């Protein structure tokens, strides 16, 4: 029978199989990121709405349509965080760290966006993100890209492509923007409705439109990467030569613009062709203006975030932990002895299930279903002698062993 309640659409339960993948991904991230000396932070899920409006930009999809935003009982306008960067900047400022040298942070946790649910697109999803405050690059840009690359390589996800671009800076972007607007203006009738509004609000995002007929119109659109000022050009060259030096494969994709307003210079995505339309597993870039925008001193920064569900879909399933020993207790009089044996086996590091006592036949069934490697059978005689009958479920052989000998035999099979 199923429950009368269901989870909210686009929000799903992390059941054991998926959580095994998540844990593997998280452990890999912690291991790889620690080699780059990034520290984990745990930041709130609830944040003031105004912070996202200010940082992400009010005419982005996230702010305009996707935030879970509400007034709480005290009348505060708050929302469930749709991304991690703004909150990280807030925390960095609130803790007064702007004069403490560069800060390298990473976080793992849920984000919320009220999007149309589909494969690889959920309303509550998990991100692993990294932010590095106080560094202007390009060496740090290369390091961040190398860290993302090392992480995905260590996870063993094949056929991922790194795409990079430069979004320029307040010096070179305005002139480029004018040129782009002129180009787009001449094609208004052939562009979709969303593109038409974006020509006025955020013209670079038109380049990112997923509509096929729009993309056809944009083939000859001017590209930011060919309109960079001297500083942005040498920054971009520095990023590229660093990646070359590390033999990290990449392509320059002039269509990467990122959905958020706060990016400048380096922007990047790591994409797969195995997830259909939702092919971006990792995305990020430099956001040198955001710390100041949120009230701090001018502080350059760079970061990225990746979607764990999308990564998990690209990984093979991970088997459940195996059971070393199933404890079968024959007769009520051995109940305490059996609990004690299970306890001692666990203290020795063995993975143990207790089959619950009662009818022997049912207990053996449990041991069988859980595919226990050994079954420890405890009856009145074994209890008197301080022993257990250890049955090897692979060979079928059985021997009476004391606790230490049993532990040794089980350990031998584990290694």
Closer residue to ligand ATP in complex, CB, 133/263: 263
Neighbours of 94 (CB within 10 A): 10
Closest separation in Å from C-beta 409 to ligand ATP = 46
How far from the centroid of its chain's Cα atoms is residue 80's Cα?
17
Closest separation in Å from C-beta 311 to ligand ATP = 8
Closer residue to ligand ATP in complex, CB, 48/110: 110
Closer residue to ligand ATP in complex, CB, 302/327: 302
Closest separation in Å from C-beta 333 to ligand ATP = 55
Residues 26, 108: contact at Cβ < 8 Å?
Answer: yes
Q: Do strands 388-392 and 398-401 pair parallel, antiparallel, or not at all (unpaired)?
A: antiparallel
Closer residue to ligand ATP in complex, CB, 47/309: 309
CA atoms within 13 A of residue 49's CA, in its CB half-sphere: 16
Closer residue to ligand ATP in complex, CB, 25/329: 25
Residues 367, 355: contact at Cβ < 8 Å?
Answer: yes
DSSP letters along 262-321, please?
T-EEEEEEEE-SSSTT--EEEEEEE-TTHHHHTTS----EEEEEEEHHHHHHTS---PPP
Spatial CB neighbours of 77, under 8 Å, sequence gap ≥ 6: 48, 49, 50, 69, 70, 71
Residue ranges in contact with ligand ATP by CB under 6 A: 83, 113, 115, 120-122, 125, 127, 259, 278, 280-283, 305-307, 309-310
Taking CB atoms, the residue at the shortest distance from ligand ATP is: 307
Retrieve residue 147's tokens.
Answer: 């860290």
Q: What is the DSSP letter of 206?
A: G
CA-to-CA separations, 59 to 138, 203, 250, 278, 283, in angstroms, rounded: 30, 12, 31, 22, 20
Closer residue to ligand ATP in complex, CB, 257/388: 257
Closest separation in Å from C-beta 115 to ligand ATP = 5
Euclidean distance between the first and the last CA atom of the chain, given in angstroms as a whole number: 42
Spatial CB neighbours of 275, under 8 Å, sequence gap ≥ 6: 119, 120, 281, 310, 313, 314
Query: Could you give the CA distance from residue 342 to residue 349 in angstroms, rounded to a whole number?
Result: 11
Closer residue to ligand ATP in complex, CB, 30/121: 121
Closer residue to ligand ATP in complex, CB, 124/389: 124
Closer residue to ligand ATP in complex, CB, 195/306: 306
Neighbours of 103 (CB within 10 A): 21
Neighbours of 283 (CB within 10 A): 21
Backbone angles phi, psi at 64, to 5 degrees: -70, -35
């Amino acid at each position: 029978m199923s429950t009368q309640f269901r989870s909210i659409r686009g929000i799903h339960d992390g059941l054991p199989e998926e959580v095994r993948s998540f844990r593997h991904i998280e452990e890999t991230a912690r291991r790889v990121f620690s080699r780059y000396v990034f520290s984990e932070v745990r930041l709130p899920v609830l944040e003031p709405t105004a912070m996202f409006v200010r940082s992400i930009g009010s005419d982005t999809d996230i702010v305009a349509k996707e935030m879970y935003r509400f007034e709480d009982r005290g009348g505060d306008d708050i929302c469930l965080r749709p991304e991690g960067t703004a909150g990280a900047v807030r925390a960095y400022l609130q803790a007064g760290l702007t004069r403490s040298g560069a800060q390298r942070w990473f976080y793992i946790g849920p984000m919320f966006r009220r999007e149309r649910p589909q494969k690889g697109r959920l309303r509550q999803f998990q991100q692993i993100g990294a932010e590095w405050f106080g560094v202007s690059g390009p060496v740090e840009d290369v390091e961040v890209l190398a860290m993302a690359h090392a992480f995905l390589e260590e996870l063993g996800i094949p056929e991922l492509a790194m795409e990079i671009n430069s979004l320029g800076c307040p010096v070179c972007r305005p002139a480029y923007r004018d040129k782009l607007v002129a180009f787009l203006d001449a094609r208004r009738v052939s562009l979709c409705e969303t593109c038409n509004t974006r020509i006025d609000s955020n013209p670079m995002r038109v380049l990112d439109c997923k509509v096929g007929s729009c993309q056809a119109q944009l083939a000859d659109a001017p590209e930011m990467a060919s309109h960079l000022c001297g500083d942005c050009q040498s920054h971009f060259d520095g990023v590229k030569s660093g990646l070359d030096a590390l033999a990290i494969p990449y392509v320059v994709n002039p269509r990467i613009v990122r959905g958020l307003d706060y990016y400048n210079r380096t922007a990047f995505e790591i994409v797969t062709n195995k997830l259909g339309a939702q092919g971006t597993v990792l995305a990020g870039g430099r956001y040198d203006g955001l710390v100041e925008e949120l009230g701090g001193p001018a502080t350059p920064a760079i970061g990225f975030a990746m979607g764990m569900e999308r990564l998990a879909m690209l990984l093979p399933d991970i088997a459940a932990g195996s059971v070393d020993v199933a404890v079968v207790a024959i007769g009520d009089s051995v109940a305490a002895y059996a609990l004690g044996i299970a306890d001692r086996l666990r203290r020795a590091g063995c993975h143990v299930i207790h089959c619950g006592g009662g009818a022997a036949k049912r207990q053996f069934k449990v041991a069988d279903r859980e595919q226990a490697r050994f079954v420890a059978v405890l009856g009145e005689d074994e209890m008197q002698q301080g022993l257990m009958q250890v049955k090897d479920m692979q060979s079928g052989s059985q021997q009476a062993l004391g606790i230490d000998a049993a532990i040794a035999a089980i350990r031998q099979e584990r290694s």
